[in-house]
Structure 1
Amino acid sequence: MAGNRIGTGTGTGTGTGTIFDADVLIVGAGPTGLVLARELHTHGVTAMIVDKAADAAHESRALAIQARTLEVLARNGLADDLVSAGNPTGTLLLHGRGRRRRRGSPSAAPAHAVSLFDEALCDEALGDTRFPFLLFLSQAGTERVLVDRLASAGVGIRRGLTLTGLSQDDHGVTCTLDSPGVPPRTVRTRYVVGCDGAHSATRHLAGIGFSGRAFPQRFLLADLEADGLEPGRVHVYLSGAGPLFLFPLGSPAGWRLLVMLPPGSRTGPVTLALAQAAVTRYTRDTIVLHHPVWLTEFTISSRLADTFARGRVFLAGDAAHIHSPAGAQGMNTGIQDAVNLGWKLALVCRGAADPALLGSYEQERLPVARSVLAGTNRAFTVATSQHPVLRGLRAGPAVPVAALLLRSRMARRTGFRLISELGIHYRRSSLSVDGVPSLDRGPRPGERFPQPGMGAVPVTSVRTAAAGHGAAPGPPVFRMLLCGPATEWPDARVREFQARWAHLLTVELTPSAPRSRWSAAPRAAAVSRRRSGLAQYLVRWDGYVGYRADGSDLDGAEAYLLGFGARPLPP
């Protein structure tokens, strides 16, 4: 990793006379900041990433990586590394209440095994994603993978630096960074992105509010070994007191324990004895905890930044939104913030698009954050409320009813779509445009394009237009998919279009089109109200449809690109 030395202004501005140390200053080297740095580097934009901690975190609360997160990271070559380092799990054991068993004897407490993502379900209902599972990997493990990939690309993290000053002007941002024992230093960048967590200095210095509330419940979190559990399964114990979770971790310990502490329980050092007492209280099985690697206690808040952007300063991840860990959404939402913002910042910094494009970041991600907060708050309330009715449901019928529902393929499919974040869409975004004539079928603008069509299962290419001159410093930000018989696409116009936009996109011709955002199975021809046989999809870097239309006229696609300020190559 790089040391704390800051550059002396060797970067160059774009016609403003300003000298920059980097295009973007990223404050915070957690998963969100690391992914953003990787995104910007991939697209040829310089990023300086700083963190106030002297070393990377070796413990973490985040544990699971969702399918949609893996999809958006696949384009950048990170998904496979994460899957190799993690533990894909598809089986859940729901434990009810019963008489405590003696060690070594069969359990009297009913345990309902639910296979969340069996092979038949994946083939029939989840065939549009390469990642039909929940990946368990500690946040520390996730960060190691991301740091290694950045280091291999020559991007280092400057640690021990705290952001203490921030001022903006028309051309950039001037920041003050403090480090113990040395004079403060000043850096100059075009943009600043605060990925520095719930107590974000970036958010505070930008004057952005952080509204919400704190919950009174206290939780114990531990990475440790546990005897008496079936390996390779997620164990969920429901009781009147609340839920207890044991996740198969593998590293740095075999299990991750998450449990709510009893109201009014003592405060003080978190010990193995306290963890064992909590497990004994919540379960009827004899589970023996030992060899803890990490023990901590925490409370939960639900807060949302008043805005995700102020001038040239942006917020992402926990700096913009925090909530309960229900559904394992936090780290995943932050990473998807980074991917959404990354390609847009890259286009603007490269001069390939107008700065107005950056307004779509908050437009798209703020509603997602609101939805996540609302959903996790509801789930948290149901799981922890001490209301007599909810306590009775958790202690009685909740486990068998949940097990029965989860044996339904439809219920599992719906649940996976929700938890995995595959259902996130930007249909109301200004970047989501239906062309004329419009299509009646297939993924709509703002919806996720079926993932195998994004490169996991390559699109059958009839002909790919020549890249032409002016190639981008990184991979193309858009893919233009022209669906239908190759003879219907005017060759001269296709090549002209590709040459004009060669720095932003590739053009691919394919005889088939997707049925919907939930189906990667191709259909022979697109269907529209006026004619059939042709469809065009302009798919963004993050895998969402930006523009679609029927017919072979590419003028609408060109108007779409010009509409958000994209700049074509000169003739």
Structure 2
Amino acid sequence: MNDTDVLIVGAGPTGLTLACTLARAGAAVRIIDKSPVPHRTSRSKGANQRTREVFADLGLGAAFDAAGVRRMVLRKYRGGVPLHDADVNEGAGSTPEVPYPTGLGIPQWRTEEILREGLAAYGVYVETGCAMAELTQDAERATVTLADGRRITAAYVVGCDGGHSAVRRALGVAFPGETREDQAGWVADVEADGLDRDYWHQWFDEDGVLLLWPIPGTRAWQLQSSVERDADGRVLPPSLDGFQRLFDRHARVPGVRLANPTWLSLYRVNSRMAERFRAGRAFLAGDAAHVHPVAGGLGMNTGVQDAFNLGWKLALVVRGEAGEALLDSYDEERRPVAAWTLQFTGERLRAAMEGTRTPGVGTEVVITDDGSTLGVAYPWSSLARGGPKAGERAPDGRARDGRRLHEAFAGPHFTLLGFGGGSGPALAEAGERCPGLLRTCAAGDAARAAYGIGAGEDALVLVRPDHHIALSTRADGRGAAEVVDLLRHLGRRAVRSA
């Protein structure tokens, strides 16, 4: 017998999201991390619109809304002179289809704290100080040996352990791509009394860059900057003295002293993707599977969305409600998204480097609608089984009983939407035959256009646990049978015989 169904290596946002998704679905899960204590560093600046939907589905939306900020005003300088303020979320409003019109500014340590609290509600806690030393697997299980010699066996292992992933190395999975040695930067968490915390201050000069973002809920700032080099052109390590020299050179604000650096890091622009995201009983997610430029803010968000895609599939398989072949759809769906992300963030980095040469232009040039990842879809997937919107994200909207559709979707189940008064019998038939996998919901007519359903048409739309459309079909006995057949392929034990 295995120690757990799923062992997650790495307790950052990707691993914690996966753990929450699995625990909620009733799967046995353990999550380990090599760090002795959780970190308190800002790292990722927050959640985009699609990630906010994921967190809301997990029941954590209110906690994130309370901890984060939606207002983000960029103040751009040249030669120390403020030139332009840009409120990047000005005028953004929710619609019936999109409940979160903006991202949410929140430091990564707080994101992880909220996810750990959510996980603890299921009785699952991060096992800290557990470094993976070895990973082996056979036809029955995967075994992780820790640095202290302990062993943990699991049906599946997921590496969510970052760009230097021990899981990826143990699997021998290549990580091709490039590291740009000529594109380096410093990042740190510092204090800077005397700056207005209503702004993300951005100094772009011809001889360097300095950005200071006020970390919500703290008195600290996240500093990003160009680097200093020695006489031979080698990059110097980040230091408080170096930060102060850059601040004095670019900001030119007398009396402001940077202090108390709690995190200092040197980064180089990397663009890499694992050659595969599955190797037998092991999977890679988040930075363990792909790394890319920070422009566009998709690093943490792509990892969270990897986890949300993989989590429901693993849960069905370990509960015996789906065949193991379902797990192949994780690589099938998410690797193309990762490839797009590498291309997109590379383009956004080039846009930033070009655009900020113009005085008064800042990082707003990297922002596009694509950065919300609401448009990420899997039309090529083997799980996209037909209909005008198959593979796309299922929009929010209203059910006939007044509920939000995304509230109806929340949980580890499929949701069958019925459009039109004539869809009731087909909904009832499918729900009766698939009680363990399926919930049904009569959709309001206002949601028709978003789902590609014509006026007056009776139709069924099957939505996956991760809010992507699997199938749209007719609302009759034949359509109900089509839904049942799809679910029977995924989970034979949950479907009653006709």
TM-score where L is the length of structure 1: 0.78
Asked if structure 2 preserves the Cα contact closer than 8 Å seen for 1:24 and 1:192, the reply is yes
Asked if structure 1 preserves the Cα contact closer than 8 Å seen for 2:296 and 2:345, the reply is yes
Asked if structure 1 preserves the Cα contact closer than 8 Å seen for 2:7 and 2:154, the reply is yes
Give the direction of change, closer, same or farther, for the CA distance of 1:203–1:71 in structure 2 (3 Å limit). Answer: same
Equivalent in the alignment of 1:259 = 225
Q: 2:396 aligns with which of 444, 451, 463?
A: 451
* Identity within the alignment, %: 35
Give the direction of change, closer, same or farther, for the CA distance of 1:131–1:285 in structure 2 (3 Å limit). Answer: farther
Q: Does 351-360 or 234-243 show the bigger shift?
A: 234-243
Give the direction of change, closer, same or farther, for the CA distance of 1:324–1:178 in structure 2 (3 Å limit). Answer: same
Letter in 2 for 1:556: E
Instruction: Specify every segment of 5 or more residues in structure 2 that has no aligned partner in the other structure, as ranges.
Output: none
Counterparts of 1:352 and 1:27, CA distance in 2:
25
Counterparts of 1:248 and 1:448, CA distance in 2:
33
Note if 1:275 corresponds to 2:243: yes
Match runs of 1:328-347 below 5 Å: 328-347=297-316
Q: 2:483 aligns with which of 531, 535, 557?
A: 557
Asked if structure 2 preserves the Cα contact closer than 8 Å seen for 1:480 and 1:505, the reply is yes
Give the direction of change, closer, same or farther, for the CA distance of 1:212–1:495 in structure 2 (3 Å limit). Answer: same
Give the direction of change, closer, same or farther, for the CA distance of 1:327–1:285 in structure 2 (3 Å limit). Answer: farther
SS at match of 2:337: helix
Note if 1:540 corresponds to 2:464: yes
Counterparts of 1:514 and 1:287, CA distance in 2:
56
Note if 1:514 corresponds to 2:495: no
Note if 1:500 corresponds to 2:424: no
Q: 1:297 aligns with which of 265, 270, 283?
A: 265
Asked if structure 1 preserves the Cα contact closer than 8 Å seen for 2:418 and 2:427, the reply is no
Letter in 1 for 2:222: R
Letter in 2 for 1:81: A
Letter in 1 for 2:15: G
1:290 to partner: Cα distance: 2.8
Counterparts of 1:29 and 1:279, CA distance in 2:
34
Equivalent in the alignment of 1:471 = none
Letter in 1 for 2:244: Q
Q: Does 219-228 or 185-194 show the bigger shift?
A: 219-228
Asked if structure 2 preserves the Cα contact closer than 8 Å seen for 1:280 and 1:287, the reply is no
Match runs of 1:77-116 below 5 Å: 77-93=59-75, 95-98=76-79, 100=80, 109-116=81-88
Asked if structure 2 preserves the Cα contact closer than 8 Å seen for 1:234 and 1:246, the reply is yes
Note if 1:489 corresponds to 2:470: no
Note if 1:40 corresponds to 2:6: no
1:194 to partner: Cα distance: 0.6
Note if 1:394 corresponds to 2:376: no
Instruction: Specify every segment of 5 or more residues in structure 1 that has no aligned partner in the other structure, as ranges.
Output: 1-18, 101-108, 385-389, 407-411, 465-473, 520-524
Equivalent in the alignment of 2:180 = 215
Match runs of 1:226-241 below 5 Å: 226-227=192-193, 229-241=195-207
SS at match of 2:382: coil
Asked if structure 2 preserves the Cα contact closer than 8 Å seen for 1:219 and 1:260, the reply is yes
Give the direction of change, closer, same or farther, for the CA distance of 1:558–1:152 in structure 2 (3 Å limit). Answer: closer
Note if 1:156 corresponds to 2:125: yes
Asked if structure 1 preserves the Cα contact closer than 8 Å seen for 2:286 and 2:303, the reply is yes
1:307 to partner: Cα distance: 0.5
Give the direction of change, closer, same or farther, for the CA distance of 1:26–1:111 in structure 2 (3 Å limit). Answer: same
1:28 to partner: Cα distance: 0.9
- What does the per-residue CA deviation read over 1:2-55, in whole Å, with 9 as the maximum and x for residues that have no partner? xxxxxxxxxxxxxxxxx1110011111111111111110000000111112211
Match runs of 1:70-469 below 5 Å: 70-93=52-75, 95-98=76-79, 100=80, 109-119=81-91, 121-122=92-93, 126-179=95-148, 184-216=149-181, 217-227=183-193, 229-241=195-207, 243-262=209-228, 270-283=238-251, 288-300=256-268, 301-384=270-353, 390=354, 394-396=356-358, 399=361, 415-435=367-387, 444-453=389-398, 458-459=403-404
1:59 to partner: Cα distance: 1.9
Q: Which runs of 4+ in 1 moved over 6 A?
A: 454-457
1:330 to partner: Cα distance: 0.5
- What does the per-residue CA deviation read over 1:136-192, in whole Å, with 9 as the maximum and x for residues that have no partner? 21111111111122223211222222222222222221221222xxxx122221100
- What does the per-residue CA deviation read over 1:356-396, in whole Å, with 9 as the maximum and x for residues that have no partner? 11011011111111111112223334445xxxxx4xx6333
Q: Does 215-224 or 359-368 show the bigger shift?
A: 215-224
SS at match of 1:190: strand
Letter in 2 for 1:175: V
SS at match of 1:495: helix
Counterparts of 2:401 and 2:193, CA distance in 1:
39
Asked if structure 1 preserves the Cα contact closer than 8 Å seen for 2:418 and 2:475, the reply is no
Counterparts of 1:570 and 1:454, CA distance in 2:
27
Letter in 2 for 1:237: W
Give the direction of change, closer, same or farther, for the CA distance of 1:127–1:111 in structure 2 (3 Å limit). Answer: farther
What RMSD, in angstroms, separates the aligned Cα atoms of the two structures? 3.0
- What does the per-residue CA deviation read over 1:231-289, in whole Å, with 9 as the maximum and x for residues that have no partner? 32333333334543222213443321111214556755533221122233344666824
1:204 to partner: Cα distance: 1.0
Q: Does 282-291 or 148-157 show the bigger shift?
A: 282-291
SS at match of 1:258: strand
Give the direction of change, closer, same or farther, for the CA distance of 1:287–1:371 in structure 2 (3 Å limit). Answer: farther
Letter in 2 for 1:274: G
Q: Does 82-91 or 284-293 show the bigger shift?
A: 284-293
Counterparts of 1:280 and 1:558, CA distance in 2:
67
1:497 to partner: Cα distance: 1.7
1:515 to partner: Cα distance: 4.9
Give the direction of change, closer, same or farther, for the CA distance of 1:350–1:330 in structure 2 (3 Å limit). Answer: same
TM-score where L is the length of structure 2: 0.89
Letter in 2 for 1:280: D
Letter in 1 for 2:358: G
Counterparts of 1:295 and 1:185, CA distance in 2:
31
Letter in 2 for 1:489: S
Asked if structure 1 preserves the Cα contact closer than 8 Å seen for 2:203 and 2:250, the reply is yes
Equivalent in the alignment of 2:46 = 64
Letter in 1 for 2:433: R
- What does the per-residue CA deviation read over 1:496-542, in whole Å, with 9 as the maximum and x for residues that have no partner? 3212211111111134152555x9xxxxx9318xxx42222111111
Structure showing greater Rg: 1
1:452 to partner: Cα distance: 4.5
Letter in 2 for 1:503: G
